[in-house]
Structure formats: C-alpha cells, structure tokens
Amino acid sequence: MKVFGKRTSEGSRQITQKKEKLKNFLKEKGLKSTRQRDLIASEFLKIGEHITAEELYREINKKYSDIGYTTVYRTLKLLNKSGLAAERVFADNLTRYEPLSAEDHHDHLICMKCGSITEFQELKIERLQDRVAEEFGFLAVSHKMELYGYCNKCKDNA
C-alpha cells in the first residue's frame, strides 16, 4: 500500500506546470486568463490541502482584499473542470477541493475528532470494487470510499 501521509505543498515546478495547464484549458474553452484566476490558483496549489471555498477565500483575502468570495468559488469550479482539482464532500457536507494530478487517485481516512484527513491507495480494494461492479453488469465510472474513526493521535486521549 502506498502511503501519502501528510499532503506536502507542491514544489514551485509543479505549480508552474499546473498553471500552464490551466492557461491552456482557458484558451481552449475561449475563457480568459485573469489576475484573479492566477492568484487564486497559485494560492490553492500552494496550500495543497482539502480546503473549502470559504477557507481559501479567507486566505486569499488576507493578501488580496479586492478578490471576492464568488470568484474564489468560481475558480475552484473551473480548476475542477480543468482536471486540476478534485471536489470532495465528506461527512460534514461541506464541499472541499484538493489539487489533483492525473494519476493520483486515492481515498481517505477521516478523523471524527480532530478532522485530520489521511490519504491512501489500496489497489487490492480497487480491483475488488471492479469485480463487484462486473458481477452486477455495472459499468463503474468512479467511486467514493471514506473510512471514519479516530486517528492515531486522537484514539487514546479521547
């Protein structure tokens, strides 16, 4: 099993690369590159966590108080459509975003006490999921798997 551990913010190399991808996506779709989109994407990629639009907005707002919540919200949607961000909804029913690279599919362990999110990839489970789908003649496109409980830090000192 591959362990991701704590999400580390990406190197500036990858960030530059991703921002290039975004630009291409925008041009392709006849959309425009703007100062706001650029700054929001930069901050989002730099933070690199599972973050809500609201949270990202607060961060952005510290540095760039002229950028509105709506634009942050819309830019996250855009990043999602362009394949640079994944949209996630965990048990608290808030929509979160995380930077996504093409091949890094993973699932989540979510601590019900401290809220920490740990990522994992378990190919054996993925294979079994495909098999289940197959047995039902179901064409699987995506899946969602989340384990809820208490993380290593929280499980003792409850």
**Which H or E run includes 71?**
helix 69-81
Among the listed residues 107, 69, 76, the one whose alpha carbon sits nearest the alpha carbon of residue 90: 107
Site string for Zn ion, 75-114 (x = CB under 5 A): ------------------------------------x-xx
Residues binding its own copies: number (CB under 8 A): 36
Q: Does 24 bind DNA (CB under 7 A)?
A: no
What are residue 31's phi and psi, to 5 degrees? -100, 170
Strand pairing partners for 98? 86
Residue 155 contact among its own copies, DNA, Zn ion, none, beta carbon within 5 to 8 Å by kind = its own copies
DSSP string spanning 43-62? Answer: HHHHH-S-EEHHHHHHHHHH
Q: Return the range that interacts with Mn ion (CB under 5 A); candidates 70-78, 112-120, 129-137, 146-154.
A: 112-120
Q: In the window 64-103, what residues touch DNA (CB under 7 A)?
A: 66-71, 73-75, 77, 94-95
When binding is defined by CB under 5 A, the residue of 44, 47, 98, 110 that contacts Mn ion is: 98
Distance from C-alpha of 28 to C-alpha of 44, rounded to nearest angstrom: 22
CB 96 within 8 A of CB 90: yes
Q: Does 128 bind its own copies (CB under 8 A)?
A: yes
In the numeric block, which tokens belong to residue 8?
A: 């580390």
- Closest distance of CB 117 from DNA, Å: 16
Give the footprint of DNA on this chain (CB under 7 A): 26-27, 30-37, 52-54, 66-71, 73-75, 77, 94-95
